[in-house]
Amino acid sequence: MKNWKENIKSLAGDKKKSKKWLWAGIGAVVVVAMAGSSMLKSLEVEMQAAKNTDVQATVWEKGKVKSRDAVDIYCEVQGKVKQVLVDTGDKVDKGTLLAVLDVSETESQIARLEGELKAIDGLSGPGAGSSQVRQQRLAVDQAKIALGLAEEAYKRTKELFENGGATRVEVDQARGDVETKKKAVAQAQASLAALTQQNSGQKESLWAQLNYLKSQKEKASVKADRDGLVFTSKVKEGDVVSPGTHLFTIGKTGQIEIEAYVNNKDIAYVRKGDKVTVIFKVPGEDVKAQGAITNIAPAAEEIISSLGIAEDKIKVKVDLPEKPKGISLTPGMAVDVVIITQEAKGVLAVPKESVFTDNDKEFVWAARDGRAGMIEVVTGLEGDELVEVKKGLKQGDLVLTNPHLPELKEGIKVK
């Protein structure tokens, strides 16, 4: 009886073990099936074909429409703006009075200097001179008269001596008196020359100051130096200005060019004659016009960016052979300037984002026979959107444009 019960328990235990093995086997099959399904499933990727095309590297800069013959008019004197006689858009002729500065202080200085000159000259009219000079001239004349009298006295005394009517002592005294009078004449003449030179120096100094102030007074009347239109007027009545203050810009609308500034790092690739696309921002659309670089400045200028950062940039000028239709080009108008700095024509190229670097080597993920594989490449010119491929690919090869997908690995199926 005991053996029968033990046999029953043993049989039940064997059934439980069999179930465990059954479930384990089923789990293994599911895992293998899932793994196989994963291997068979294709990874969805974005692909583009390598193709022969043009690769361009461009520089985008902000530019402005300028008048080729425009001139900025700056203030040359210190003063307060008394009148502004023109406004932006006014047509002016050469010599037109644009503005007048208050020169009342300058006029007062002119009057003072003219008074000092009159004081030196004394009374006006022919032969006028200062009282000191006149007195010294009179002293010279008197010294000469005294010398003449001394010479006459010496002559008579000498004749008397020869006839026994005068002594040797009297002759020597008369000769000594002549020498004394000669010295007196020389001293008077020297004093006159010194005084005259002193007055002359003072006059020259005063005349120099007077002429300078008169020129400053003349410059207080700001005039147009050419025919044209007033593009900008930057002052108003009551403004206090100083030498160097920008007052007006005058030019002609027919002589138009584009002016832009290029970074130092890009200017090495820019050449005179390079093609340029100028983009005019108008409501509803961007109007493009083709031009060419006509001038590159020999030195950089410090330009403050819109973010307030100082940058060294080179000024370039662009000519527009054909003006865009339907747009009135006004000096000062803002534009976008696109300069082609480097270009490779008819080369094999792929999208820039498809190339990546690993251990200082460049690669792409390429799809061949439906499977992904890493291919080492040698690149050339890197453009704005494409990069030239010199080695590693051929035309028509499909490259993945999202090469950083975590699921990517050698041999994986892609679609």
Q: What is the dihedral of CA 343, 349, 355, 359, to 10 degrees?
A: -80
Across 58-72, 217-231, 246-260, 378-392, which has the greatest mean pLDDT? Answer: 378-392
Cα–Cα distance, 89 to 69 (Å, whole number): 16
pLDDT of 333 strictly over 90? no
For 73-101+223-251, CATH number? 2.40.50.100
Domain covering 104-219, topology: Helix Hairpins (1.10.287)
pLDDT of 39 strictly over 70? no
59-70+252-343 classified as CATH 2.60.40.10: no
Find the mean pLDDT for residues 148-177. Answer: 85
- Residue 276: predicted pLDDT: 92
Helix (H, G, I), strand (E, B) or coil at 278: strand
Q: How confident is the model at residue 259 (pLDDT cuts 50, 70, 90)?
A: very high
Find the mean pLDDT for residues 1-23. Answer: 46
Residues 200-227 have pLDDT tens digits of 656 666 667 767 767 677 778 899 988 8
Q: Which class for 65: exposed (0-12), middle (13-18), buried (19 or more C-beta within 10 A)?
A: buried
Phi/psi at 315 (5° precision): -80, 130
Find the mean pLDDT for residues 298-320. Answer: 88
Q: Do domains 47-55+345-400 and 104-219 have the same CATH topology?
A: no
Cα–Cα distance, 149 to 154 (Å, whole number): 9
Domain borders along the chain are: 1-40, 47-55+345-400, 59-70+252-343, 73-101+223-251, 104-219
Residues 42-60 have pLDDT tens digits of 888 899 999 999 999 888 8
Q: Name which of 301, 312, 210, 317 is nearest 260 in CA terms.
A: 317
Domain covering 47-55+345-400, topology: 2.40.420
pLDDT of 361 strictly over 90? yes
- Residue 277: predicted pLDDT: 92
Cα–Cα distance, 316 to 298 (Å, whole number): 10
- Joined together, the tokens standing for residue 123 give 């009374």
Q: How confident is the model at residue 349 (pLDDT cuts 50, 70, 90)?
A: very high
The pTM (predicted TM-score) of the whole model is: 0.51
Q: How confident is the model at residue 32 (pLDDT cuts 50, 70, 90)?
A: very low
Residues 398-412 have pLDDT tens digits of 999 998 888 888 999
